[in-house]
Structure 1
């Protein structure tokens, strides 16, 4: 039975450390092997000193583990924030000045995330339409791919310095015309390893993390070709000394550029929180012990980590999905796996910096392009289309505005289009932010009746009523009085049903007989058929 594991989850705290040190240290070591090159790559792509990617991951592991609200997520820098971080550095003047002014906005954003947790906004991800969130992530993936192409080709940075996103796209032929054959060769077979490695998962060789395999191949290759003496300095990663770099670096004078400062505080706090919460939700579902995270506590922990990291020059961190999934799949039991990953990173950066500086930038670019491909994979477009044409429209509009404007405008455009479509489908304005929801109890059964419309913007109120229902009962959710149930609500109700039934209860969704699905997808939006 699924509930058997739920009865005896691993102990937390010091007892959990002692009981699970073997499993957690092993998982933490595997995650460290993943996190080390990716953290360096994310920092470099964000126009931060590369070592600051490692500083962020170390703080996310060693500090945040003790206060985190989730047990199996790994905290560290993530590719999903590259666009925002690099944009902030550029808009604040670029270079060392832009980095330090961006840090000031990140410190304040960390405090805002702490406030989010204190105000119990841990359900923040439920407020946004899923198609807009996925569109935002796909746009981030496209931007990452485009910006890493010249680095994969080892093009002179002067050819793309200061270019807009449109400029980067139109310059791709020029990048190929000026590629460095030897560095590009390393980049191409690094990309082939990253993309092809999942197909080797059933073989012993495939057990080695793909980023580690890239380093195993790329570093000897560049040594054999003597990059230090035969290639420009931009071909290799330059890290520097940890002790010399970690100091008070944040500059708050950017607050005098009020509009710009506020914009980036909002973007760091909003995008980072959304990505982190979505990861926590996904990892909770993958947890073999079906433990439920405290989203509000986790937001506070991430906010504290971001505040500390940014003060000393590090990047914003989130609960990172790829490393967290690797943590689970490698047998992690408690939060100590995240702690061990931070400890291993700290030891490595203290004793092995010369090894890190042997990494070709083309190899790091290949790793990030792979992340971008995963975020913007064609399957994302196909799956969104299967859910409904209106979802694809929101998805594409969010992508377009994100690429050609910025993330904040992109997700706002997606939300506005979603609301317009809801108005067209007959959603009364009065129910945009409140759906009348009545919960009654009779003979061991809870009945939840939802009126008017159940859409992304009013779901937090519905969710609050659902969360108040004790575990272990029969719950019926009646939607017959709704004019529209959108895709975000259908998916969130599905998640509620899954989680509630994992705890021994039963959930039944009724009242959709007179609703028509907008597509054949089981979680497509439903609207009442007018006869």
Structure 2
């Protein structure tokens, strides 16, 4: 188990890792660019606000994060909340005040050590979330790969806000209206990415160092420009076309500072601002903690992130993002997954992606607006596939239904609703399976003639009540019965009352009935030589 402090990583950064982190940072930048713009568009906010959030998420949160591999930016899961909040508060400037306050609340949560709650999500649910996100990425990118862009980049809900379709109907319409130019670009980019990765695995230096995602994007730009010259009917257009990356450009003579929106702090007296701030803080913190758990599971070095440090970093990031006109920021699965699968070693990759976003905004818009979304769709489809490989389903199926059912429920819940609903449903199912599993073989009945010992072997929850009641019902008149609770760390209130009430039944049936070390037991913690142990008190 490895735990790293952010300042230690940056201060003692080994230069030998730079080529890995630089390559990964560039790949994440290419993925993050359309996502930042698409989420801003879906939120009803200025397009620059999405880019500002991406820059803050990379540079600021990347530097302070509790994780080496997590990447932060504007999150699709907050798009509906943001759009609704802007309408309720009346202006984007007032909404920015709520973003600043949300950052303050997150900072307080981090300082209060609230990050520990991330450990309460079952592993099967976290893995289900990763697989579901992988499937959703693939499904959502198929229309873009086919040239249909009615739905914005970055939306992961099943019911689409942009055009009233859903994930499956959007694919059907994309197939019916596919653009040959987009298909050629996306298929070529996808084949290039597959071949690039295979050659890189064989140890060819150039293919290991040069990012496959960048090669796919350059190939997409080249093909589209070739279409423009030799086959105009296949040409996908430039920035004026919906199918291209569309970075807003600073107009000639426009002030550098004029592109930033500033919060209207005169609205601090508006109670609705605080309601929106608390909502954003809770949802953003939940998404961040979930993604932190997921990134630790994907980390090849199996490092353990600090959730409390991450909440502090997110709070600082959201405060700054709100101050200069950015959307709320969270740790996000898609960019984190792209970062890990691109070979990132440390947080430097996230920081590099943030600087590249900043360069793109101020210097590279005209060039980047030549990128067709079809080639970026190919890059995202490869990331999605790696998250949702078929052998993951086989692995969880072999681990038994107690793991597979919460896993598959989480997967289906996220695919057919959204991230938070799917996680909530999966977690509830996971908890029920934990309770069910704990209710199995919780006691043992040993009979020797008329002597009967009922030994409570583990924690006794209410789910064990029917089976225990049946065992008591099978006792015969004249039996000498001892209920031994010395091995039970916890005895549920219902179980205790039932055992106590059976005393009268036993007396009427001439059954000797003794309760040994049976009471309302609660788990109490106290330190010992191993730092902490659980003791039982009556």
TM class, shorter-chain normalised?
0.5 to 0.7
Measured in 1, the distance between the counterparts of 2:27 and 2:65 equals 21
Runs of 5+ unmatched residues, structure 2: 153-159, 229-234, 251-255, 440-458, 464-486, 492-522
Task: Measure how far apart 1:360 and its partner are.
Answer: 0.6
Selected match of 1:376 from 379, 388, 394? 388
Selected match of 1:268 from 243, 266, 284? 284
Q: Is the 8 A contact 2:245 2:368 kept in 1?
A: yes
Selected match of 1:212 from 207, 214, 235? 214
Task: Measure how far apart 1:125 and its partner are.
Answer: 2.7
Measured in 1, the distance between the counterparts of 2:247 and 2:107 equals 31
Q: Is the 8 A contact 1:154 1:235 kept in 2?
A: yes
CA RMSD, 1 decimal: 4.6
Measured in 1, the distance between the counterparts of 2:490 and 2:24 equals 47
- Say which SS state the counterpart of residue 246 (structure 2) adopts: coil
Task: Measure how far apart 1:234 and its partner are.
Answer: 0.5
Which residue number corresponds to residue 512 of structure 1? none
Task: Measure how far apart 1:412 and its partner are.
Answer: 2.0
What does the per-residue CA deviation read over 1:233-267, in whole Å, with 9 as the maximum and x for residues that have no partner?
Answer: 11211101374543337999998599988665533
Task: Measure how far apart 1:39 and its partner are.
Answer: 1.0
Q: Is the 8 A contact 1:58 1:342 kept in 2?
A: yes
Which residue number corresponds to residue 313 of structure 1? 326
Q: Is the 8 A contact 2:185 2:375 kept in 1?
A: yes
- 1:389 is the counterpart of 2:401: yes
Runs of 5+ unmatched residues, structure 1: 433-448, 454-460, 482-531
Selected match of 2:436 from 405, 424, 428? 424
- Say which SS state the counterpart of residue 52 (structure 2) adopts: helix
Task: Measure how far apart 1:89 and its partner are.
Answer: 5.2
- 1:63 is the counterpart of 2:65: no
Q: Is the 8 A contact 2:40 2:327 kept in 1?
A: no
What does the per-residue CA deviation read over 1:166-199, in whole Å, with 9 as the maximum and x for residues that have no partner?
Answer: x331342221110111122112222333444432
Change (3 A) 1:272 1:424: same
Task: Measure how far apart 1:132 and its partner are.
Answer: 1.6
Measured in 2, the distance between the counterparts of 1:224 and 1:44 equals 26
- Say which SS state the counterpart of residue 77 (structure 1) adopts: strand
TM-score (norm. length: structure 1): 0.66
Larger Rg, first or second structure (1 or 2): 2
Measured in 2, the distance between the counterparts of 1:13 and 1:418 equals 36
Which residue number corresponds to residue 452 of structure 2? none
Q: Is the 8 A contact 2:107 2:313 kept in 1?
A: yes
Task: Measure how far apart 1:297 and its partner are.
Answer: 1.9
Selected match of 2:377 from 353, 365, 370? 365
Task: Measure how far apart 1:381 and its partner are.
Answer: 1.8
Task: Measure how far apart 1:31 and its partner are.
Answer: 3.1
Extract structure 1 runs of 4+ deviating beyond 6 A. 8-11, 96-105, 158-161, 249-255, 257-262, 429-432, 461-466
Change (3 A) 1:181 1:91: farther
Corresponding residue pairs, total: 430
TM-score (norm. length: structure 2): 0.65
Q: Is the 8 A contact 1:32 1:345 kept in 2?
A: no
Selected match of 1:151 from 144, 149, 155? 144
Change (3 A) 1:188 1:267: farther
Q: Is the 8 A contact 1:141 1:371 kept in 2?
A: yes
- 1:235 is the counterpart of 2:243: yes
Task: Measure how far apart 1:361 and its partner are.
Answer: 1.4
- Say which SS state the counterpart of residue 115 (structure 2) adopts: coil
Selected match of 2:261 from 247, 255, 259? 247
